[in-house]
A and B are shown apart, each in its own frame.
Chain A
């Protein structure tokens, strides 16, 4: 075991893993974190805590992670390279693991141009691939980037993201391979709506043997409405929402669109699990819809979650 996190154990035992996601509040409202967490308890194996996602200032990810630990959930600490240099990133992982955090997700981070403080200066001292390699070095060699010994190496299960729908398409599996070569233990993909394209991506990954070196979790986000589907298709770079999904949502009554979105998510999970080789689990991002995560996981036949020692 690298970290002995629940997620690592579930995957090591060969179970189809389920991770969830929770966005910290835009304030220090700890109760809000507990409230959202309670919807995910027992539903997922580990919960990603986003790090100022879309460059909007929120409660620090590590702090929200700690609240989750206190509530009996396992967090997955997301870290972006946008806001911190190598000194702060290494320092934060030491602090986070000292608090009991065992999973980390290394990201470059959305550019701040569309965040709530676009006038800010960004850092990008490292990129996500380099961050992964530094954390691996700290864990496996017990050394900082500069080769100096650590007084206590962080046990961390290292994660990374992959977007099968960004461009250039044929390079996406290769780049995921770079993250795995750098030391990623697990991958969570961007939200999948275009299944045929994801299938093609996974074929490239499997051809490269990536699924054997690393657990690949397929990203699922339920569409709440036609509006959300259209927004994602149009305004989120690197997001691929096929027209037929939008049409399917348009085909039902406005009030029933959310339920239809959940149904789509469940079908998607089942189809991925049954028909796409190399997928080790799903990452369910029910953004600001944490209370409906259970329906999805249950509907997909993934409850109860395994308990692994």
Chain B
């Protein structure tokens, strides 16, 4: 899923300064799963904004709404009638949400209420870890099911580097050295020899380096 972090309340208050009627807009997709932008969080943020604005003697009209998804125009359309009645919409979906909403309703000011951080998964309740950088050409099966692109701080394909110590990455004792894990895993699987191969340079065209990506599926297009 796409994982995100709430923006500090103060930053959101600044964004909506001078805007009287505000909508906090959630999404039932990834951000609901990672507890940052679902219906519950919409309620929490709206309440916090009301309290803060009340204290400062500002208008407290903060409405709440959560769409099925914000990365699909079909659901954004549900706002068609209401959208222009707001001075500001704070979307707490991933970065796609505020863009889709702003595109559909050009007259309304739209703000991102969360910081979209990475594609990852939950390790335990309340802990997520980055797992993929959407490089566009998945190779994880060659590395024991671990991604060296997203999980090695240097995206090394022939790691581990000389900074790997005690299973941790040179950048922080909090970060696992994925290359240590790869070597361990491949050894366990009896596939260590495969890692002796010199991995050739990666073709980054399929990644963001090839320019913004777009996908057309003729079989699905109407």
Contact = CB atoms under 8 A, between A and B. Distances in A.
Interface of A: 81-82, 86, 108-111, 113-114, 122, 124-130, 133-134, 145, 161-163, 166-168, 171, 174-175, 177-178, 181-182, 190, 237-238
B163 A111 contact: yes
Contacts of B140: none
Contacts of A125: 201-202, 204
Contacts of B162: 161-163, 166, 190, 238
A307 to B, nearest CB: 33
B154 A127 contact: yes
B170 A145 contact: no
A76 to B, nearest CB: 17
Interface stretch (B34-42, B80-88, B103-111, B177-185): B177-185
A237 B158 contact: no
Contacts of A122: 154
B6 interface: no
B161 interface: yes
Nearest to A174: B196
Interface of B: 153-168, 170-172, 177, 180, 183-184, 195-196, 198-202, 204
A145 B165 CA distance: 33
Given A166-B165, A238-B163, A178 B170 contact: no
Contact of A82 (B154, B166, B172): B154
Contacts of A162: 162
A234 B64 CA distance: 51
B180 A111 contact: no
Given A111-B170, A182-B198, 14 more contacts: A110-B170, A124-B154, A127-B155, A129-B157, A129-B199, A130-B200, A161-B162, A166-B160, A166-B162, A167-B164, A168-B184, A174-B195, A181-B198, A237-B165
7 contacts: A113-B171, A125-B204, A130-B199, A133-B198, A167-B167, A167-B177, A175-B158
Contacts of B154: 81-82, 108-109, 111, 122, 124, 127
Contacts of B184: 168
Contacts of B172: 113
A180 B204 CA distance: 25
Contacts of A174: 195-196
- By CB atoms of chain B within 10 A, which of A81, A111, A125 has the most? A111
A171 B160 contact: yes
B166 to A, nearest CB: 6
A128 B162 CA distance: 11
Given A111-B171, A127-B159, A161-B162, A168 B180 contact: yes
A237 B163 contact: yes
Given A178-B198, A237-B170, A127 B156 contact: yes
B187 to A, nearest CB: 9
B198 A129 contact: yes
- By CB atoms of chain A within 10 A, which of B163, B168, B180, B202 has the most? B163
Nearest to B170: A237
Nearest to B167: A167
Contact of B158 (A113, A178, A190, A238): A178
Given A163-B162, A238-B170, A127 B180 contact: no
- By CB atoms of chain A within 10 A, which of B161, B177, B202 has the most? B161
Nearest to B201: A130
A210 to B, nearest CB: 12
A127 B158 contact: yes
Given A145-B201, A238-B165, A168 B160 contact: yes
Contact of B180 (A167, A177, A178, A190): A167
A140 to B, nearest CB: 15
